[in-house]
Structure 1
């Protein structure tokens, strides 16, 4: 999950960090309003324009319900923040890293304003020079928020906003502070396995589970899974070393049921994620103040069917784009791609000119992919067309 923050509470530097994360308030004059905000799409994310403090500059933020709010380091240098503290934590690979946490005086989207919102300062430009930040659930938690993928908009409903929810499936949620106040619920997997589930618009796939829970499923025990060479999932703070893919017969969250869903491993110790590839099939309203989420399916949309995609994952390492994971038996595996191969071009575009977000967008939207790569084993250029 590309932008899931495996977060900051566990690495907090004392009570000041906890105070910053817990702080914030929505300005009272917006709580009773209904505000529609135009959004665009970047890879699997909705993006919105955000303003910080009294600046008139529109900043591009990704909407990620599974994260705390983030401001890109280069963007943050333009502003002054009243409170800040440095947090140290350990990433997936076991490396210690530091993240600065600040209190933002004012953040606004259109007429929607939140004061004293916590934000982590992280280098996002290496993933895409277009990204200025991530709008997380610690901002959204004051509102009833509609995520409208079909019409490309966010709709903010104040606490007193009246909305007809006929035909919606309602499920209870709570806010998980350790994941930036992400909306979280209880699920039952295969009829008997209890699991905590996070509604995570930052995760591009349909459903993911920790390996410890996947290993309890009937499909895994029966050997009905696909495994990877290298890792096929991860985040800003590292990539897991190996991934598995199974099909879950049934996942239930209250009255919401998911049948025969592909499920892959994630880097969490105990959290299931419900991601974009599933969420895009619904009109979704997350009522943070009243602890309930509503789902209404779009009949014309279908769940993800080409789950393996082109079968490989890559990352930027010291200016190079390196293959870091491959599903066994996938088209990439059959074409001869290997861990450590360096991508040269995708669909005839030089990868040095592409950000990771642009690469993700290309891989998610293309029906075929022309890949030119430098083989690590032979130091020769190879070319393959993946379908």
Structure 2
């Protein structure tokens, strides 16, 4: 849709906390469960991309399901899948998503997850409510292939050609992949890296294929980059956010800007969008610009076929969310955008966007999964007094 390009889905940038329970193992114990039965293998999978996120075909007990590929979260299965397959509960605890929202979850043991012809045995997964957040619900996924499964082999991710290779064997050669970056892991097996921009080092950033954004950093880090004149011009996005598995709606005011260069050790990416207010992660908007290999045996990332052509992104300047009453509304607005100048403000009810009429046959998912490649669109809204407003909004460069 690209109404507001810098708005992203920060899926499960989460801290997992497990309640103490008698006779129940801790999360740090059960996350280590799992193995691959094959000793030496190399498998290739085709995948779909929805809203910049990788959706893999996964086979469990003879049925094929849609799973999100997410390096920033542990394995997960939906409540409906757990109700159907009734996996054994290993423990219970709480998950806190990237917005600080806390919800109770249970961890189950999935006997076998098949990716292609490769069985991943005794996998720990938390049971997630994939309908609490409207954006996640629109993706229609059954689960998540997470970092605790990925650690068992090496991965080559080619988002341009929508192919993934994984195996115990080495998936790179020094000649083809001269650009590399070391990573660290935590108890959840998240991938953590240090990057450089200007004279600053951004530490402990998460490589997150479960986020379709570019680069996000905490507010304090964003301000340091401003103070050091690494960031020279910013724009503010005001309104609300609805991210993470809980789907809680939070008031949000974030800043966005461009970085001239972001350095992944020897690899430099140009004109990188950066967003404040995040937990510190790199999403698929950046990761899709290269073929990436995750080599767990060496704890290295390798990059090939890097696309460093200038990105001339544009935006209408607003995003749409779904209220608790299932009504589309203006979720956030970017200052100095066409939407802002036309009087569009957060919390206005959205009745129509171009051909999508939400008062008739179209749904929020039509908006979320759709795309409008036009220089201008007509938007019909209703303000807090119930007065309808019809405006024409133009697409403008993301960063002039």
Q: TM-score range by the shorter chain?
A: 0.7 to 0.9
Tell whether 2:233 aligns with 1:224.
yes
User: Paired residue for 2:275?
Assistant: 264
| Deviation string, structure 1 residues 90-146 (Cα, Å, up to 9, x no partner) | 556665422222221211111122122222222224422622122222221211111
Alpha-carbon offset, residue 71 of structure 1 = 1.5
Alpha-carbon offset, residue 285 of structure 1 = 1.0
| Superposed counterparts of 1:190-201, under 5 Å | 190-201=198-209
Q: Could you state the TM-score of these two structures normalised by the residue count of structure 1?
A: 0.86
User: Paired residue for 1:34?
Assistant: 42
Alpha carbons 1:189, 1:195 under 8 Å: kept: no
User: Paired residue for 2:294?
Assistant: 286
| Deviation string, structure 1 residues 327-350 (Cα, Å, up to 9, x no partner) | 111222123211101222333224
Taking the aligned partners of 2:306 and 2:283, their CA distance within structure 1 comes to: 16
Q: Could you state the TM-score of these two structures normalised by the residue count of structure 2?
A: 0.83
| Deviation string, structure 1 residues 156-210 (Cα, Å, up to 9, x no partner) | 121x345435342111112233xx4222211223223342222212222221111
Q: Structure 2 vs 1, CA of residues 45 and 365 (structure 1 numbering), >3 Å: closer, same or farther?
A: farther
Tell whether 2:114 aligns with 1:104.
no
Tell whether 2:76 aligns with 1:70.
yes
Q: Structure 2 vs 1, CA of residues 263 and 230 (structure 1 numbering), >3 Å: closer, same or farther?
A: same
| Superposed counterparts of 1:160-199, under 5 Å | 160-161=169-170, 163-168=172-177, 169-177=179-187, 180-199=188-207
Taking the aligned partners of 1:291 and 1:90, their CA distance within structure 2 comes to: 27
Taking the aligned partners of 2:377 and 2:76, their CA distance within structure 1 comes to: 32
| Unpaired stretches in structure 1, ≥5 consecutive residues | none
User: Paired residue for 2:367?
Assistant: 359
User: Paired residue for 1:372?
Assistant: 380
Tell whether 2:13 aligns with 1:6.
yes
Further displaced range: 224-233 or 210-219: 224-233
Q: Structure 2 vs 1, CA of residues 302 and 94 (structure 1 numbering), >3 Å: closer, same or farther?
A: same
Q: Structure 2 vs 1, CA of residues 215 and 3 (structure 1 numbering), >3 Å: closer, same or farther?
A: closer
User: Paired residue for 1:252?
Assistant: 263
Alpha carbons 1:278, 1:304 under 8 Å: kept: no
| Unpaired stretches in structure 2, ≥5 consecutive residues | 1-7, 396-400
Root-mean-square deviation (CA, aligned residues, Å) is 2.7
